């Protein structure tokens, strides 16, 4: 009798769950909460990421890819964009704080954010000080604890490599010289293409079976717990949420980085999150479920249970995206005029 009562309750609960997880309803709920899919239609996607003043072309993407992988854009000739934004490792480096020139850790102990889907961020860098990737890409090349190459060194290296000169001339025929800013903007065009649609996008785009029941349950919990209030939009993060400033939402004091003028840091994207440990702006936590519970406590002022965290992890796994296939580029040969690497 007692057993059968439990059994009925379990059935009832399963029934309720099934009702909650109706695909159409959940898609609507997700969209209502601000979550957005990467468009499955390529034309629509291009519209979102392209800048008509400097449109994406195959030639720019190919040149940008070479530059992204070229360690000669660094002072030592050893550190490329891909060193800290490794496209084989979720687009970051897998260490708490970036290590750059002369084995220097980032002085603010900042974790390298993923480059994948960064085109969807409303602001770049943890403090959101940069408006877009073409601007952002100028930072790490110059920063002394990162690639440590002054603008002129980057430019002189590129100009000394005949194949690059040929490529730039062919792509930007009206430009008299190759500028540092143009090098950065070309890298940014490659980065714009680093978009990784996942099972979750397929689901939001209407394929109700793209998520299984556990994943749907996890998504539901993710929304119900309030995670989607900051982790929103196409990047499922990537914005400086204004309501983070109200006082209720205040980022954990996990490092000495001061954030923006209000002490805030950008909400990171959750796409490919299972590949980008450790977490937070200071890489302070390695476990995804611990990170979820920490956010519940600090950002949302709620307790997220182990079970709920586990459900959310199940959902987050569906954000592991399909990466663009990238053929490793053959980089231009050096010439007699190529500035030599220096290590101090």
Q: Kindly list the residues in this chain that would bind its own copies in the complex (CB under 8 A).
A: 66, 69-72, 76-78, 83, 86-90, 93-95, 99, 102-103, 105, 274-275, 277, 286-287, 323, 325-331, 333-334, 336, 340-341, 343
The closest of 73, 77, 95 to 85, measured between CA atoms, is 95
Q: What is the DSSP string of 132-190?
A: SHHHHTHHHHH-TTTT---HHHHHHHHHTSHHHHHHHHHHSTT-SS--HHHHHHHHHHH
| Contact criterion met (CB below 8 Å) for 265 and 108 | no
| Contact criterion met (CB below 8 Å) for 161 and 338 | yes
- The smaller minimum CB distance to its own copies, of residues 72 and 182, is found at 72
- The smaller minimum CB distance to its own copies, of residues 112 and 239, is found at 112
Q: How far is the CB of 206 from its own copies (least distance, A)?
A: 27
Tokens of 2: 């007692």
Q: How far is the CB of 168 from its own copies (least distance, A)?
A: 18
- The smaller minimum CB distance to its own copies, of residues 174 and 327, is found at 327
**Cα angle: 56, vertex 100, 73; to 5 degrees:** 40
Q: How far is the CB of 37 from its own copies (least distance, A)?
A: 22
Tokens of 138: 């100028």
Q: How far is the CB of 189 from its own copies (least distance, A)?
A: 18
| Contact criterion met (CB below 8 Å) for 93 and 83 | yes
Q: How far is the CB of 63 from its own copies (least distance, A)?
A: 14
- The smaller minimum CB distance to its own copies, of residues 230 and 316, is found at 316
Q: How far is the CB of 342 from its own copies (least distance, A)?
A: 10
Residue from 44, 62, 146, 191 carrying the catalytic annotation: 146
DSSP annotation of 237? S
Spell out the residues 6+ positions from residue 333 whose beta carbon is closer than 8 angstroms to its own.
161, 162, 163
d(C-alpha 313, C-alpha 288), whole Å: 7
- The smaller minimum CB distance to its own copies, of residues 108 and 266, is found at 108
Place of tokens 């059968």: 4
**Catalytic annotation on 175?**
no
- The smaller minimum CB distance to its own copies, of residues 72 and 281, is found at 72
| Contact criterion met (CB below 8 Å) for 244 and 230 | yes
Which are the catalytic amino acids?
146
């Amino acid at each position: 009798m007692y057993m059968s009562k439990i059994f009925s309750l379990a059935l009832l609960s399963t029934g309720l769950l099934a009702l909650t997880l109706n695909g159409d309803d959940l898609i609507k709920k997700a969209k209502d909460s601000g979550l957005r899919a990467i468009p499955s239609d390529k034309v629509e996607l291009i519209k979102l990421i392209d800048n008509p003043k400097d449109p994406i072309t195959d030639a720019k993407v190919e040149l940008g890819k070479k530059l992204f992988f070229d360690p000669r854009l660094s002072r030592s000739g050893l550190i490329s964009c891909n060193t800290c934004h490794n496209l084989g490792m979720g687009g970051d480096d897998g260490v708490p704080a970036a290590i750059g020139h002369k084995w220097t850790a980032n002085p603010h102990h900042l974790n390298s954010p993923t480059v994948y889907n960064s085109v969807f961020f409303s602001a770049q860098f943890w403090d959101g000080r940069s408006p877009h990737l073409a601007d952002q890409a100028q930072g790490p090349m110059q920063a002394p604890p990162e690639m440590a190459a002054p603008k002129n060194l980057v430019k002189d290296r590129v100009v000394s490599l005949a194949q690059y000169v040929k490529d730039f001339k062919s792509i930007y025929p009206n430009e008299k010289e190759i500028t540092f800013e143009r090098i950065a903007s070309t890298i940014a065009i490659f980065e714009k293409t680093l978009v990784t649609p996942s099972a979750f996008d397929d689901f939001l785009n209407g394929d109700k079976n793209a998520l299984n029941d556990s994943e749907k349950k996890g998504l539901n919990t993710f929304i119900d717990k309030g995670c989607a209030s900051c982790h929103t939009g196409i990047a499922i993060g990537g914005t400086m949420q204004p309501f983070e400033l109200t006082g209720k939402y205040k980022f954990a004091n996990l490092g000495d980085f001061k954030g923006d003028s209000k002490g805030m840091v950008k909400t990171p994207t959750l796409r490919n999150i299972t590949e980008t440990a450790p977490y937070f702006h200071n890489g302070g936590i390695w476990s995804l479920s611990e990170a979820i519970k920490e956010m519940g406590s600090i950002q949302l002022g709620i307790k997220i249970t182990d079970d709920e965290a586990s459900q959310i992890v199940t959902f987050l796994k569906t954000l592991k995206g399909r990466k663009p296939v990238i053929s490793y580029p053959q980089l231009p040969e050096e010439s007699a005029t190529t500035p030599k690497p220096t290590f101090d």
